[in-house]
Copies of this chain bind each other. A is one copy, B any other.
Amino acid sequence: MALRGGLPTENGFVGVEGVRLVEEALRSGCRIQAVLFSESGERHHERLSSFINRPEMAFPVLRTTDRLFEGLADTEHPQGVAALAHPRETSFDDLVRAPASACAPLLLVLAGVQDPGNVGTILRTAAAFGATGAATAASGISGTANPFSPKALRASAGAALHLPILAGISLAILLTQLRVAAVRTLASSVHEPRDGEQPLLAPWEVDWCQPVALLVGNEGAGLPEEIERGADARIRIPMTAGVESLNAAAAAAVVFYEAARQRNSAPASGIQPSAASQSSKTDTLRSPKKT
């Protein structure tokens, strides 16, 4: 059992460390190979016992010394609790099948996000605003940090274990599959449009109630230009004080907020946000102003 480095074991399990993440792993329904407590981590046993003691949770609970645990741990001041968890197995078909809670798939595709902390934070934000799944590109200039590395897992606050994620896929194949599945691809843009190209859209000019996948590129360079130009639409958050005013995580928050806004405003049945329903909802809630 090695947690350090965040590489999955041969059978696909990843190390998950710290009380909160282990709790999320147990809660997520991931397969668990083992849970490990150090001597001083034993004090967290009670918080986790309601999960560990369930009859369907048939995994060994191991004990070790603090010293041995510190040797395995990825963090500097480990809490003494870890687990080997198997991220949800997800197929492309799972990704494009919208769960009952959502009107249509809302996917996140990370293509070139290099910082594991950013990968985790963006996954967490996307999940918080109702994303239904994610994919990360494998290699080349679109290569993205492993979403199951310790740093990404921590930054995701466990969202990487809850959200269906296709990790390390070929971007070219994924884009073709999305096209066949009629999922609209939206590129977060950092490039100016050339003459005759489609204009960049503000997030509010896009219909987020359709099946959509948001492509997010490298922190500095953005998406590879041909990927961006091949997307169904290109979006940019309009700002008065020039570009680069938002970091990758804040930009993702804004865009997924817009998706959540439209999906929450849409009638329960529908795909399209109706102007009428939005306006009536707003009127009801623009509640009595105190004076």
Contacts and interface: CB of A to CB of B under 8 A. Distances in A.
B207 A240 contact: no
A245 B290 contact: no
Contact of A245 (B124, B202, B207): B124
A276 interface: yes
Contacts of A288: 198
A204 interface: yes
A128 B249 contact: no
A178 interface: no
A152 interface: no
A282 B202 CA distance: 10
A205 B261 CA distance: 10
A281 interface: yes
Contacts of A265: 204
A241 B124 contact: yes
A127 B261 CA distance: 22
Nearest to A204: B261
A279 interface: yes
A92 interface: no
A132 B103 CA distance: 37
Interface in A212-253: 232-233, 237-242, 245-247, 249-251, 253
A77 interface: no
A264 interface: yes
A138 interface: no
B128 A239 contact: yes
A285 interface: yes
A86 B175 CA distance: 53
21 contacts: A127-B240, A128-B241, A129-B239, A129-B240, A159-B241, A201-B287, A202-B261, A203-B261, A204-B261, A204-B282, A205-B285, A205-B286, A207-B282, A207-B286, A232-B290, A238-B264, A239-B260, A247-B249, A253-B253, A275-B275, A275-B279
